[in-house]
Amino acid sequence: MNAPQFGHLPKQSGQQMYDFRPLSAQSVQVILYIGHFLTIRTRVAIYRTFTQPTQTDVLLFINEWSD
């Protein structure tokens, strides 16, 4: 019973990886598209939030987003 399961699992994971790649590419395009509408201040705040994930930077990001 182990042999058919072993043969079945790689096929499923391969299909999932194939379906995932176009989705991730689309999400990157959407992020870049939204990025065009962001102001420079917001871009700097997002950059800080992702490069230095500290509580103060997150608070700065929230403050700059609300302005």
Residue 17: what are its φ and ψ, rounded to 5°? -60, -40
**Positive/negative CA dihedral, 22, 43, 60, 62:** negative
Q: Which long-range contacts (CB under 8 A, 24 or more apart) does 44-52 make?
A: none
- Specify the pTM: 0.23
pLDDT of 7 reads 47
Query: What confidence tier does 28 reach under pLDDT thresholds 50, 70, 90?
Result: confident
pLDDT at 58: 65
